């Protein structure tokens, strides 16, 4: 397993390095925004990776509700947590890009607001899992994840259905939209690199959660055994004897 | 260019902070498992 992880890590490193080269050197400079537009090659693939991870979380949560398997519960938690990390990257790189281009860090338009709501939904999912101690926590979290996922298509379509400060889609957008093939190549390589990197981090988080579940089970078993053990009573001391 | 570098640096800082958090989680679980193992061997003695 360690060897597989090392190989996957090296592939991710190679892809991320190549992606960085594509983004900073190979991709042409955008005419109106200049070099700051290169934030696009990290901002957009991070958003797409977050959407993909939230979709995996949605599937794993639905499976958990059907079969109550601890594996799907651990996978749901791992994908949600790593998805939140990628969504945080989107919410941090977005304003850094907005400031020099729009002149403001933030505006409450449909795309930005729905993305912030998406982040808050999954942060609340993680907080529920972290701070709730009842036996029903995974069930409640799975239900929240299923309803929370509804926000993903809302975020995606927000720039198509509303007039926003955020640019209109350049990929699969309206007629006449589109980007230079070299820009597209840089974008896709970075997305692939983020997917591979994200998969490794999800795998690590999943293994950690499985280990935590096993330790918790062992603790519960030990407590059960200690309760079952016959009590060795101390010899009764007759108070009258003294 | 400073905004571009800031965005790229922020991305990797976020990922690295999360990886550090994960490694701490691993250390904590390993420690708990070790304590559990010690407790079990003590109870079987």
The model's pLDDT over A94-147, given as tens digits with 9 standing for 90+, comes to 999 999 999 999 999 889 999 999 999 999 999 999 998 877 889 999 999 999
The segment with the largest mean pLDDT, out of A1-15, A47-61, A150-164, is A47-61
C-alpha A36/C-alpha A50 separation (Å) is: 22
C-alpha A165/C-alpha A155 separation (Å) is: 14
Do the Cβ atoms of B22 and A36 come within 8 Å? no
Q: Is residue A227 over pLDDT 60?
A: yes
Residue A3 lies in a domain: no
Which residue segment(s) compose the domain that A45 sits in? 36-224
**pTM listed for this prediction:** 0.89
Share of chain A above pLDDT 90, in %: 67
Interface test with B, best of A215, A216, A221 (most B CBs within 10 A): A215
**Structural domains in chain A (count):** 1
**pLDDT of the residue at A231:** 56
Residue A59 lies in a domain: yes
Burial of A137 (0-12, 13-18, 19+ CB in 10 A): middle
Q: Looking at the DSSP assignment, which residues form a beta bridge with residue A34?
A: A30
Confidence of residue A241 (pLDDT cuts 50, 70, 90): very low
Q: Is residue A232 over pLDDT 60?
A: no
> Are A64 and A172 in contact, with CB atoms under 8 Å apart?
no
**pLDDT of the residue at B36:** 83
User: Least CB-CB distance to A215: which of B7, B22, B32?
Assistant: B32
User: Least CB-CB distance to B36: which of A92, A99, A219?
Assistant: A219
User: Which 3 state secondary structure label does DSSP give A177?
Assistant: coil
Do the Cβ atoms of A96 and B7 come within 8 Å? yes
Residue A9 lies in a domain: no
Mean pLDDT score across all residues of chain A: 89
Q: What is the ipTM of this complex?
A: 0.89
Residue A24 lies in a domain: no
B36 contacts in A (CB within 8 Å)? 215, 218-219, 222
Residue A236 lies in a domain: no
Residue A47 lies in a domain: yes
**pLDDT of the residue at B38:** 82
- Condensed to tens digits (0 to 9), the pLDDT of residues A186-198 reads 999 999 999 999 9
Residue A81 lies in a domain: yes
User: Least CB-CB distance to A204: which of B6, B11, B22?
Assistant: B22
Closest CA to A90 of A57, A109, A116, A117: A116
A99 contacts in B (CB within 8 Å)? 3
Residue A171 lies in a domain: yes
B32 contacts in A (CB within 8 Å)? 215
- A43 part of contact set with chain B, CB < 8 Å: yes
- A204 part of contact set with chain B, CB < 8 Å: yes
Q: Is residue A151 over pLDDT 50?
A: yes
Q: Looking at the DSSP assignment, which residues form a beta bridge with residue A106?
A: none
**pLDDT of the residue at A235:** 54
């Amino acid at each position: 397993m360690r060897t597989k992880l090392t190989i996957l890590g090296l592939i991710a490193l190679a892809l991320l390095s190549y992606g960085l080269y594509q983004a900073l050197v190979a991709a042409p400079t955008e005419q109106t925004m200049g070099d700051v537009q290169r934030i696009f090659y990290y901002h957009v693939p991070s958003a797409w990776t977050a959407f993909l991870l939230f979709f995996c979380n949605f599937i794993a949560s639905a499976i958990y509700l059907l079969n109550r398997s601890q594996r799907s519960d651990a996978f749901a938690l791992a994908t949600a947590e790593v998805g939140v990390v990628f969504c945080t990257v989107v919410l941090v790189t977005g304003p850094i890009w907005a400031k020099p281009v729009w002149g403001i860090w933030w505006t409450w338009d449909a795309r930005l607001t729905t993305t912030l709501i998406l982040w808050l939904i999954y942060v609340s999912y993680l907080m529920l899992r972290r701070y709730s101690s009842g036996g029903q926590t995974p069930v409640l979290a799975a239900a929240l994840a299923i309803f929370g996922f509804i926000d993903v298509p809302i975020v995606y379509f927000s720039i198509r259905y509303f007039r926003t400060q955020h640019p209109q889609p350049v990929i699969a957008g309206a007629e006449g939209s589109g980007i230079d093939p070299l820009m597209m190549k840089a974008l896709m390589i970075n997305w692939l690199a983020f997917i591979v990197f994200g998969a490794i981090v999800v795998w690590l988080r999943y293994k950690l959660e499985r280990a935590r579940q096993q330790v918790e089970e062992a603790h519960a078993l030990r407590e059960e055994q200690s309760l079952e053990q016959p009590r060795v009573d101390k010899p009764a001391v007759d108070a009258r004897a003294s | 260019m400073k905004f571009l570098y800031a965005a790229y640096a922020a991305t990797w800082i976020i990922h690295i902070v999360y990886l550090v958090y994960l490694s701490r989680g691993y250390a904590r679980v390993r420690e708990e498992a070790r304590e559990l193992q010690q407790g079990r061997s003590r109870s079987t003695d």
